[in-house]
Amino acid sequence: MTLPGAPRGILVVTGTGTGVGKTVVTAAIAALALARGERVAVVKPAQTGVGDPNGDVPDAETVRRLSGVTDTHELARYPDPLSPEAAARTAGLPPLDMHAAAEYVGELAAARDLVLVEGAGGLLVRYDAAGATIADLAAGLDAPAVVVAAAGLGTLNHTALTCEALAARKVARAGVVVGSWPRRPGLAELTNLADLEVIVGEPLAGVLPEGAGALDRTAFLAAARAGLSSRLGGER
């Protein structure tokens, strides 16, 4: 059973940049959908920066740990922590085929209630030499996008630019989520909450607490419920 306002179909999770909390937000939406009894899949079209065994944990692994969703798919992996296009070029590996990725996601969606697609870096990060982006994937799939934003200085400009880029490509926006709200917010963070809503022209779709990615699965589900709005399946 789907809650009113909860996402269905394909939902792209993008961000205003790297390190803003896209993976945690993806996991939160996935956890809520799984708790509702939905058939959920999560796709990471291109994972970068996991070449060192002691380096970053792949995003799909983090999603599985936090949400309990095991239907995860990584379509390409590159060792260096660069944009997907640069990482593929540097490693001498073929770039992600965005057309094939769109077909793959579409096939998954035919047998799931929700497919979440998590981008790399910001919205317009390049995936191949032709300049394909996660925005192009969203447009090709006719899928709405959740924008994950930072809390502090710079986020107003970055969020406005990201939302304008989505609108220019006719990609529907499913909401803006602050991916990591600091335990001790300063003046910039506190004023940004209201100012972000002015910029996007609607209430925020969620605010997740700093450190949510370190919670156990039960606590993380509670944080997802409390932090995300009803349009993403939460209770905020």
Question: HSE of 100 in the Cβ direction (CA atoms, 13 Å)?
Answer: 11
Contacts of 8 (CB under 8 A, 6+ apart): 2, 113, 114
Which listed residue (12, 20, 24, 44) is catalytic? Answer: 44
Q: Which residue has the tokens 């001790």?
A: 184
Asked whether the beta carbons of 43 and 116 are under 8 A apart, the reply is: yes
Asked whether the beta carbons of 153 and 188 are under 8 A apart, the reply is: yes
For residue 175, the SS3 value is strand
Strand ranges, E, within 62-113: 72-74, 77-78
Active site residue 170: no
Residues with a known catalytic role: 44
